[in-house]
Amino acid sequence: MFNSLSDRLTATFKNLRGKGRLTEADVDATVREIRRALLDADVAVPVVREFTARVRERALGAEVSGALNPSQQIVKIVNEELVEILGGETRRIRLAKTGPTIIMLAGLQGAGKTTLAGKLSKYLKAQGHSPMLVACDLQRPNAVTQLQVVGQRAGVPVFAPHPGATSTELDHPAGDPVAVARAGVEEAKRTLHDVVIVDTAGRLGVDAEMMEQARQIRRAIVPNEVLFVIDSMIGQDAVNTAMAFDEGVNFTGIVLSKLDGDARGGAALSVASVTGKPVMFASTGEGLDDFELFHPDRMASRILDMGDVLTLIEQAEKSWDKDEAARMAKKFADQEDFTLEDFLAQMQQIRNMGSMKKMLMMMPGAQNIRQQLEQFDEREIDRVEAIVRSMTPHERVAPKIINGSRRARIARGSGVHVSEVNGLLERFAQAQKMMKKMAAGGGMPGMPGMPGMPGMPGMGGGGGGARKGAKSAPKKKARSGNPAKAAQELKDAEARRAAGAKAVPTGAAFGQQGGDFDPSQLNLPKGFDKFLGGSK
């Protein structure tokens, strides 16, 4: 949704890198580019003016002029202001203290209210609630049937006493939506459902009749939350629509639908700022699971291409099989071989998390490789799984036995070329080596500062190769082939090691060159010297 805006802002900030001091002209040029980027993204003009004015005022202030890295400080300011116009902080549903929590959905026809009702009900069900859907859209043909289908997919009951209008009776609904809403709340109380989600009718545009009906339903059921569902792709008209609904039904929160579209996304940046109401949820796809709590700070990070790792972790925690994770952890701790069976199990875990493309786009810097990510084929995981499943159980445990004829058989069984089987086995061999190294306590290869990395004092041995420019360890002198001479050399080496142990003080690891180490020289907290094992 925010690809174009993200690209423009990222390019703007690149022009600031390497500047030790920012002049007023630099700030003005940056603010001008930010203004153009926001206007191109269909953000409302009043919001753009207010946003850029605050950014310019802060950028010319002391917090930038005194910063060690002014360009990074500008990015920090823009990030904080983006968070502010997106609502400031995460807002969750306020649950009723007594009786069921009543949530009313309002919005234009086609905004996605009915589908969102199912998504919201499944989201709440996963949190331990018992939601019920109420079909009050009796004007759109088959709206009631659609809600029943969505409710069935979400595993949530639907209260629908009237079938609603058909294609031949658009202006003659089969029942009174206000009465249905009232009856639905009573039914929820009787059946002990703690959440009621009321789906209301919409129109292609804001009109007095629709707004009056929504007002009557609001007065009849007194909802705890009125959620305004808005299509993120409608552009500048989002502000006018939101203000009309706010005046008509006084909604308490906003839900952005179709956030996975390729439109410019200005609605998300405009509506919350203009109405003063928080964005609470976002719909990010067509599936019932493509629904998430809206975090302004995380969305701002996505726009500025700083990633959204927290959401990625939350998705992993929801879908990850804890028993499988515990099994892998035990196997890892016992230093057992990582097999293709384990590899297949991990691939299935990743599949459960959803779209790989969406997950990768949450990583910091993903905008730089967006074109490659967009070309990523989600079916690649299916091909890998097919290759592994075409192997015998013994081949999965001992892939070294897979010779040329076996590779040809596996390729035929999985419907791929032999080169793809070869590539998978090569990648697996590399992964297996890495897992062995990590299990042995060697740390992640190629990552300086991790346990076992070369060139890091006090870290012990480990693979990964010496750092560039670092002196290699002296080679061990070859022992003589003469037994008597070899025994003497061994005796001399032991004597040297014993003498060295006496000469090297405790503080040698801290860079001291001689004498006993005194931890007080480091100006450490009181009592910390006992932890270091100093002699004083």
The pLDDT, as a whole number, for residue 475 is: 45
Q: What dihedral angle (degrees, nearest 10) is formed by the CA atoms of 225, 226, 227, 228?
A: -160
In the sheet that holds 225-231, the strands lie side by side as 158-159, 131-135, 195-199, 101-106, 225-231, 253-257, 279-283, 291-293
Terminal Cα-to-Cα distance of the chain (whole angstroms): 63
The pLDDT, as a whole number, for residue 488 is: 66
Location of structure tokens 């969750």: 92
| φ, ψ of residue 255 in degrees (nearest 5) | -120, 125
The tokens of 345 are what?
């199990």
The pLDDT, as a whole number, for residue 151 is: 93
pLDDT (tens, 9 = 90+) of the chain, 536 residues, equals 566 677 777 777 777 776 667 778 888 888 888 888 888 877 888 888 888 898 888 888 766 665 557 777 788 888 888 888 888 888 899 998 888 999 999 988 888 889 999 999 999 998 899 999 999 988 888 888 999 999 999 999 999 888 766 555 544 455 789 999 999 999 999 999 999 999 998 877 777 888 888 899 999 999 999 999 988 777 677 788 888 888 888 999 999 888 776 556 676 678 888 888 888 998 888 888 888 888 888 888 777 766 556 666 666 666 666 676 677 666 666 666 778 887 777 777 777 776 666 666 666 666 666 666 666 666 777 888 889 889 998 888 888 899 989 999 999 998 889 999 998 888 888 877 777 776 666 544 443 333 333 333 333 333 334 334 444 444 445 555 555 656 666 666 666 555 544 443 333 333 333 344 344 443 434 443 433 344 43
The tokens of 80 are what?
């904080």
**Which among 157, 112, 100, 155 is positioned nearest to 137, based on CA atoms?**
112
The tokens of 310 are what?
């927290």
Q: Compute the chain's Rg from CA coordinates.
A: 32
Q: Where are the beta strands (DSSP E) in 155-239?
A: 158-159, 195-199, 225-231
> Cα separation of 416 and 413, whole Å?
8
The pLDDT, as a whole number, for residue 494 is: 62
The tokens of 303 are what?
């726009």
Q: What dihedral angle (degrees, nearest 10) is formed by the CA atoms of 351, 357, 360, 366?
A: 180
Residues 6+ apart with CB under 8 A from 289: 119, 122, 354
The pLDDT, as a whole number, for residue 399 is: 87
Q: DSSP 3-state assignment of 398?
A: coil
> Cα separation of 342 and 428, whole Å?
11
pTM exceeds cut of 0.75: no
**Which among 319, 104, 380 is positioned nearest to 219, based on CA atoms?**
104
The pLDDT, as a whole number, for residue 11 is: 76
The pLDDT, as a whole number, for residue 149 is: 93
The pLDDT, as a whole number, for residue 273 is: 83
**Which among 32, 24, 29 is positioned nearest to 61, based on CA atoms?**
24
Rounded to 10°, the helix 404-414/418-439 angle is 110
> Cα separation of 328 and 334, whole Å?
10
The pLDDT, as a whole number, for residue 471 is: 41
Question: How big is the CA angle at 256 (ends 354 and 7), to the nearest 5 degrees?
Answer: 75
> Cα separation of 290 and 284, whole Å?
5
- With b meaning 16 or more CB within 10 Å and e meaning fewer, what string describes 458-488? eeeebbbeeeeeeeeeeeeeeeeeeeeeeee
Are the beta carbons of 141 and 167 closer than 8 angstroms?
yes
The pLDDT, as a whole number, for residue 130 is: 93
